[in-house]
Amino acid sequence: MLNKVNTYDSAWTELNAALRNTEAAVGLGGAVGALEENQRQTGFIKDQLSGVERFVFQHPDHPSCYFRVQFNAKRLARFNGAGVSAPPEGVIAAHDGCFLCRDNVIWQQQGAELGYELNVNGKAFHAWMNPFPLLPSHVVVASSVHETQEWAFAPEGGQDIKRVVSDLVALAARMPNFLGFYNGVNAGASIPGHLHYQFFERPPACPIGGTAFPLEAKLRNLTSDGDIPAIETEYPVPVAKWSGDPQTISEGAGRWIDHWAALNEQRILRLTANIIVAAQDGGDVDLYFVPRDRTRPRGETMSGLVGGLEVLGEVVMSTPEERQALDGGEIDFFTVEQILASVRTPLFAELEPRP
């Protein structure tokens, strides 16, 4: 095992030196692309997105409103367990075999999975490629230490929202052609024990909506004013949106969400969130905040969890039953709208009706 660890460490060091050069030359997005290429070659990335089909459903009366469905049969394969589940003799699995802890990755993936070390706002992270990507260059940026994904508003505490927001914004600013998100616990987070953000390269343009995701298209003309977000209430879930230079957005959104949590004190322990970021041409960043109800992690009539991608307006389907529904014309704009609406919780608790 010691030999294997030494071999892994030297492969890691060599790859990281090369990726640091790539980042210096072409930015973090380029380094992620190079890591992705490396991970295809080692065989760690199992799916090349070749089987993914996208369906676009427009509103019959307002064709500029649309949702997308991604059918991705290989998505099911991830449950078949990638990697080795028990550590070799003499090695103890850290944190119940957490897939985002580097000490486990070494034996779980038998050396095939390598990551890229990066510093975000003074904290150390590892970028790991997703072995079953939902989108191009789908990367998980995970804390280099095993620390909770939970936010500080949870009963047991967790990450300061200002940290989560500033990490997301800093990463988005470094990866201009990427989108990213934080899925709160019970809001699509697949590994609640270990802090991580997901980023992916903006996919090629669709004939409808171009390169914009449905949420981005719907909120395109809304702008925030300092700390105060633009608030969209006609999307199936309520959304607060900030746009502007990274530092202003990062500080303003962090302050506002803290204040929002205080105003929602009576129900805050029930709440979680999806937070989405994307840099725009010219360096400005858009940040979207969607509150979620912990008791409803899954959309109605849908096999998977609702996370950041679904909130962006692209629902992932992967089962034979869902395929049949798509082929049979049973799915339309309103089906997807209903899936999202079924996880809706208001931004502020609705007032009790007056007696």
For residue 56, which of 212, 290, 233 has the smallest C-alpha distance? 212
Residues pairing with 296 in the sheet: none
- C-alpha dist (Å) from residue 76 to 71, 73, 338: 11, 6, 23
What's the min distance (Å) between Cβ of 191 and Zn ion? 7
The angle subtended at Cα 272 by Cα 271 and Cα 275, nearest 5°, is: 140
Does 138 participate in binding Zn ion (rule CB under 5 A)?
no
What's the min distance (Å) between Cβ of 130 and Zn ion? 16
Q: CB neighbours of 37 closer than 8 A, spacing ≥ 6?
A: none
What's the min distance (Å) between Cβ of 110 and Zn ion? 18
Residue bearing tokens 């994904």: 149
Segment lying near Zn ion (by CB under 5 A), choices 6-14, 146-154, 235-243, 245-253: 146-154
Nearer to Zn ion, 146 or 292 (CB): 146
Nearer to Zn ion, 126 or 138 (CB): 126
Does 194 participate in binding Zn ion (rule CB under 5 A)?
yes
DSSP, residue by residue, 207-273: TTTBT--HHHHHTTT---BTTBPEEE-SSSS-EEEEEE-HHHHHHHHHHHHHHHHHHTGGGGGGEEE
Does 101 participate in binding Zn ion (rule CB under 5 A)?
yes
Does 146 participate in binding Zn ion (rule CB under 5 A)?
yes
Question: Cβ-closest residue to Zn ion?
Answer: 98
What's the CA gap between 92 and 67, in Å, rounded?
Answer: 45
Helix and strand numbers (H, E) in the chain are 9, 12
What's the min distance (Å) between Cβ of 103 and Zn ion? 9
What's the min distance (Å) between Cβ of 31 and Zn ion? 22
What's the min distance (Å) between Cβ of 124 and Zn ion? 13
Mark residues 208-247: x for contact with Zn ion by CB under 5 A, - for none.
----------------------------------------
Does 98 participate in binding Zn ion (rule CB under 5 A)?
yes
Does 100 participate in binding Zn ion (rule CB under 5 A)?
yes
What's the CA gap between 16 and 204, in Å, rounded?
Answer: 28
Which residues sit at the interface with Zn ion, rule CB under 5 A?
95, 98, 100-101, 146, 194
